[in-house]
Amino acid sequence: MKTITKTSFFLLLFFLPIVLAFLALCIGRYWIEPIQVYGAFLTFFGYPVESTVQSVVINIRLPRIILALLVGAGLAIAGAAFQSTFSNPLASPDIIGVSSGAAFGASIGLLLFDTILPVQILAIVFGLIAIAITFTFTKVAHNDSILIIVLAGIIVAGFFTAMISLVKYLSDPLLKLPEITFWLMGSLVGANYNKILLSAPLLIIGIILLYLLKWRLNILALSIEEIQSLGLNPKYIRWISIIAATFVVAATVSICGQIGWVGLVIPHVARLFVGSDNRDVIPACISIGACYLLIIDTLCRTIAPSEIPLSIMTAAIGAPLFAFLFIKKGRNWL
């Protein structure tokens, strides 16, 4: 991109989530006029607006939109980090078993408790346990090459997937099983400010860490000798990025269950616009991922009488989009 074009594009990416978020506040089971949405934020200063409108905008739609933006940005930036860390364009946030571990923790929480707090805590804890197990495998093997990490991740993901199936088998088929199944399909139903306060800090910390590492992720494409000649430790950079992405994925699962395709597709979309430099890809992923999941979630809650799970829509839209990207760029992935 030329400098002016690049600057204009990133300005667009900065304002686009804000514009889409405002539009999403208007859209729902019933349309709310933009002036009423604006007025809902001014009720704290005495601006007259219907209490129903104020409640829908501030207490129902706003927290859901905030979570959609955070989750979309987090999954996209985690996907970009994994693809750069493993030098693999097909890498995604569940490559080292983090998503499966967090999903297992959420399943245990749903099985044993009736409140959301233990579910979120257990999802985060087991997501971190998954990365710890993967790290232990590399230590036992005395090898932390990319291949060993990926193989360890496959083992961890397979184990936790089996444990999720066991939890489903042990669940009450009338009460708990539907709840667990729906959770794992991904949804922002019931989003509130308590969920944001509990899970968003870990999510934001992971996003910030990955953003700060963006130029170092470029270095991982070099040979070990070249990286060391720059005075940097490739193993240190790799594990910091993996742990930061783990925070993001675990926090995401703790909020809304498993959501596929975002971390796989959005980094490639970003590269279509800004190239392969992670100093540009990472910021672009934050904006594009946030906008993408916000649009998906808005569709999920509006196009059908009953809400559609997020994972269905992300797959239905993400798979054709990824097919297009594969046709366009797949030759460079081989």
User: Read out DSSP for 144-170?
Assistant: --HHHHHHHHHHHHHHHHHHHHHHHHH
**CA torsion, points 248, 283, 289, 85, in degrees to nearest 10?**
-50
pLDDT in the model for residue 207:
93
Q: What is the mean pLDDT of residues 92-117?
A: 85
In the predicted model, is pLDDT for residue 80 greater than 80? yes
233 dihedral zone (left: phi>0; alpha: psi -120 to 50; beta): beta
pLDDT in the model for residue 165:
94
CA–CA distance, 138 with 122 (Å, rounded to integer): 24
CB 102 within 8 A of CB 253: yes
Q: What is the mean pLDDT of residues 265-273?
A: 92
pLDDT in the model for residue 19:
95
Q: What is the mean pLDDT of residues 2-23?
A: 86
In the predicted model, is pLDDT for residue 28 greater than 60? yes
pLDDT in the model for residue 330:
60
Give the torsion sign (CA, 45, 50, 51, 53). Answer: negative
pLDDT in the model for residue 45:
67
Q: What is the CA radius of gyration of the chain?
A: 20
CA–CA distance, 187 with 210 (Å, rounded to integer): 25
**Per-chain mean pLDDT for the chain:** 86
Q: What is the mean pLDDT of residues 235-251?
A: 85
In the predicted model, is pLDDT for residue 21 greater than 70? yes
pLDDT tens digits along 43-69: 766 667 787 888 889 999 999 999 999
- What is the distance of C-alpha 92 from the center of its chain? 10
DSSP label at residue 259: -
Give the torsion sign (CA, 173, 176, 180, 182). Answer: positive
Give the chain's domains with CATH numbers.
3-333 (1.10.3470.10)
CB 261 within 8 A of CB 318: yes
Q: What is the mean pLDDT of residues 110-127?
A: 85
Neighbours of 138 (CB within 10 A): 17
For the chain, the straight-line distance linking the first and the last C-alpha, in angstroms and rounded, comes to 25
pLDDT tens digits along 273-331: 898 889 999 999 999 999 999 999 999 999 888 888 998 899 899 888 888 887 877 66
Residue 274 dihedral angles phi and psi, to the nearest 5°? -115, 0
- The runs of H, that is alpha helices, within the chain are 3-26, 34-40, 51-55, 62-85, 98-112, 116-140, 146-170, 176-184, 193-212, 214-219, 224-229, 234-256, 262-274, 278-300, 310-329
pLDDT category of residue 24 using cuts at 50, 70 and 90: very high
Q: What is the mean pLDDT of residues 81-101?
A: 81
pLDDT category of residue 223 using cuts at 50, 70 and 90: low
pLDDT in the model for residue 4:
54
pLDDT in the model for residue 332:
63
pLDDT tens digits along 172-188: 888 889 888 888 888 88
pLDDT in the model for residue 162:
95
As a whole-number percent, the residues of the chain with pLDDT over 70 amount to: 92
More confident residue, 99 or 290: 290
pLDDT in the model for residue 2:
53
CA–CA distance, 184 with 74 (Å, rounded to integer): 18
Q: What is the mean pLDDT of residues 250-266?
A: 87
